[in-house]
Structure 1
Amino acid sequence: MVKKTKWGNSHRFVVVQQDGAEVAISYTTCLDGKPDSRKKFIAVCRLIVHKDLHRWKVKQIIEPKSESMLRCVESGTLVDFEDAQVDHKPPLTFSVIVKAFIQARKLDTGGVVFMTDKDGMEILADEELSKDFREFHKDMAVLRILSKTANLKGASKGRIAPTKNDGTLENFQLR
């Protein structure tokens, strides 16, 4: 079954179990098999900050009478609330913030325990880890409003996938 999320701005796939319980699933997981722990952690981190981002978006409303217009920082045009998207301004994209959190905490995402909430959404079992990420995100995020079109144009720019030629200093002897 396909349902709107509780925030109403996107859809999710839901499996209804025999006992009536609903479990949200990812269509990419259905196609590709079990998601890797890092992707799962990133998805759950998005849920952790979703309400904060929504509250921030509401505060950006320009036209108090219409209660629905926001200005796209890329084009300068007014955008309806539903079409406006909260973007993490590069270089501190959401993915970069999550990666920095993982590295700062020396977190093994394979060891992170997830559970399902009453709405069938996966959440972190460790509430402290959830709170820590929310605070980390609050300290790091630089947000802006973009139209859907502007956000889609720039989406790939913010995702810098690691390559086999990238290196780290983790096994490097510092002097």
Structure 2
Amino acid sequence: MRKPFKIGEKEYKFKKDAVAHYRTILNSYDFGQSLNDADFNDLIDLLDYEHFNYLAELESTGDDGNEEIESNEASTEESADEGLSIEEIRVARVQFNTKCFEIVYNDKTSCYISYLMIINNTQHSPEKLFSIACRNAIHSDIRSVKQIHFDNHSIKGQVKCQETGLLSKWTELVVDHRQPNTFSIIVDRFKEVNRIDLESIEYTSNDQNHIVFKDESWTNEFRKYHTEKASLRIVRKECNSSRTGMARIKRTSKDLIIK
């Protein structure tokens, strides 16, 4: 007998039924609307489901540092003075006028999530895990850049988007890596310069249940390298999302290579 697919306390006969449930939630809101309590809790369950998939991958690398990781409830409901926590989940407008879930944290940063990728349990390759750890390594640096920019340039709580010139609120803006040194390019060059063997890198989880390097020296080294290479701007989210993946062009069978 087929084992039911479970997210939180809800069981689904097939993954497609879970996909339909979260698609219904997404489509029941207009752009900018916040989720009600019931739907918010369903999204929290989905995020916890994703997080435990991360931990399973860490365990498969032989990492034994997970005994200090907090429980589900602590990971999503911890108070603001204890670390990063989820304050709100809303429906955002992204590329091509489509909808997406946006997670808003208590420090007013936010990120988009794909319910399809989470439910389908897209495996995180060594490259993906390394990139996640690099992004988490610079989280505080990126937030500091944004805060300093607002402190120096805000007009009644708004600053100009450095691409469109529109006065925008904190929640409407993100810190963007100016080309050609996009974040993905910086990560790739860091790997090349340090001749990193991705299979040998170990990860753990910090107090906010973020995937981080087990060896803190890698965190420090990447922060230093990123500071040297990154040119940053404050832009509206739709400007940033429209360029997602532009710098990540994979080699194809038709490409010419040096032999």
Name the TM tier (shorter chain). 0.7 to 0.9
Q: CA deviation at 1:108?
A: 1.3
CA contact (8 A) 2:174 2:234 kept: yes
Q: TM-score, normalised by structure 1?
A: 0.77
Task: State which of 97, 113, 116 in structure 1 corresponds to 2:205.
Answer: 116
Which residue identity lines up with residue 21 of structure 1 in the other structure? Answer: S
Q: Go from structure 1 to structure 2 and tell me whether the alpha carbon gap of 1:45 and 1:168 turns closer, same or farther (over 3 Å shift).
A: farther
2:92 counterpart residue number: none
User: Which protein is richer in helix relative to its size?
Assistant: 2
Give 3-state SS (helix, strand or coil) of 2:219's partner: helix
1:8 counterpart residue number: none
- Distance in 2, matches of 1:41 and 1:94, equals 12
Where in structure 2 are the equivalents of 1:16-165 lying within 5 Å? 21-22=71-72, 28=117, 30-61=119-150, 62-63=153-154, 66=156, 68-165=157-254
CA contact (8 A) 1:113 1:125 kept: yes
Aligned residues: 158
Q: TM-score, normalised by structure 2?
A: 0.54
Give 3-state SS (helix, strand or coil) of 1:106's partner: coil
Which residue identity lines up with residue 72 of structure 1 in the other structure? Answer: C
Task: State which of 14, 17, 21 in structure 1 corresponds to 2:48.
Answer: 14
Q: CA deviation at 1:30?
A: 4.9
- Distance in 2, matches of 1:32 and 1:163, equals 26
Q: CA deviation at 1:164?
A: 3.3
Between 1 and 2, higher relative CO (CA 8 Å, sep ≥ 6) is seen in 1
CA contact (8 A) 1:38 1:110 kept: no
Q: Report Cα offsets for 1:24-69 as digits up to 9, x if no partner.
A: 9x963652453101011101111110110010011112226x3x32
Which residue identity lines up with residue 53 of structure 1 in the other structure? Answer: I
- Distance in 1, matches of 2:209 and 2:249, equals 31
Percent sequence identity over matched residues?
Answer: 25
Which residue identity lines up with residue 41 of structure 1 in the other structure? Answer: F
Q: CA deviation at 1:21?
A: 1.8
- Distance in 1, matches of 2:220 and 2:165, equals 35
Give 3-state SS (helix, strand or coil) of 2:162's partner: coil
Q: Which runs of 5+ in 2 are unaligned?
A: 1-41, 53-68, 77-113
Q: Go from structure 1 to structure 2 and tell me whether the alpha carbon gap of 1:125 and 1:166 turns closer, same or farther (over 3 Å shift).
A: farther
Q: CA deviation at 1:111?
A: 1.4
Q: CA deviation at 1:89?
A: 0.4
